Amino acid sequence: MFRGRYEHTMTKTGRVSIPSKFREVCRKKYSDETFVITNFDRYLIAYPMREWNELEKKLSKVSITDSEAISSIRYLMGNAVDCPVDNQGRVLIPQSLRSYATIETEVILVGMLKKIEIWSKEIWEKENGSGAFETFIQSREVLAGYGL
């Protein structure tokens, strides 16, 4: 599972290093270092290919008559890009996705169990800065509802 938070600098060409611990998870659990990256909320999500394939299976079961769900799927799938890890442990994030998440140079990568979130450092600090602990304390009951 992916866990931890890492700060990296993106190159001018849009390459960002995937933390070695994340690459190790990919090699051991998935036998692959290719991610599918798509936009979500104010950040990007990188799924290992196997997890992405599982997500696609679930999404393919949505009824075509559910226009709201189909609209969300269209957005998610339409922006998804295969991003293999290069020999230097980096992925190239396309300009369209960088623009969407307003990622310029400073990047935060957050392990989120079966996927990785990729944030602009500036947005990360706004969303998860000084008030993050208080939000965590207030929302613990939600996790308790999941038996945690």
Q: Which residues face 107 on adjacent strands?
A: 8, 120
In a domain, 85, yes or no: yes
Structural domain for 113, as ranges = 2-121
Strand order in the sheet with 81-84: 2-9, 106-113, 115-120, 43-48, 34-40, 81-84
- CATH number, position 76: 3.40.1550.20
Contacts 24+ apart (CB under 8 A), 78-82: 79/38, 79/39, 80/36, 80/37, 80/38, 80/52, 81/36, 81/37, 81/38, 82/34, 82/35, 82/36, 82/49
Report pLDDT for 140.
77
The CA distance from 46 to 106, in Å, is: 17
In a domain, 127, yes or no: no
Report the half-sphere exposure of 138 (CA within 13 A, side-chain side).
5
Report pLDDT for 136.
77
In a domain, 128, yes or no: no
Average pLDDT over residues 76-87: 95
Report DSSP state, residue 148. -
Report pLDDT for 94.
97
In a domain, 104, yes or no: yes
**And the tokens for 30?**
């998935």
User: For 122-142, how does the pLDDT look when each residue is reduced to its tens digit (9 = 90+)?
Assistant: 999 998 877 777 777 877 777
Query: How many independent structural domains does the chain possess?
Result: 1
In a domain, 142, yes or no: no
In a domain, 77, yes or no: yes
The CA distance from 139 to 88, in Å, is: 39
Residue with tokens 């020999």: 87
User: For 108-119, how does the pLDDT look when each residue is reduced to its tens digit (9 = 90+)?
Assistant: 999 999 999 999
Per DSSP, the residues of 28-90 read IIIS--EEEEEEETTEEEEEEHHHHHHHHHHHTTS-TT-HHHHHHHHHHHHT-EEEE--TTSE
User: For 51-77, how does the pLDDT look when each residue is reduced to its tens digit (9 = 90+)?
Assistant: 999 999 999 999 999 999 999 999 999
In a domain, 133, yes or no: no
Report pLDDT for 59.
95
User: For 23-55, how does the pLDDT look when each residue is reduced to its tens digit (9 = 90+)?
Assistant: 999 999 998 889 999 998 889 999 999 999 999
In a domain, 26, yes or no: yes
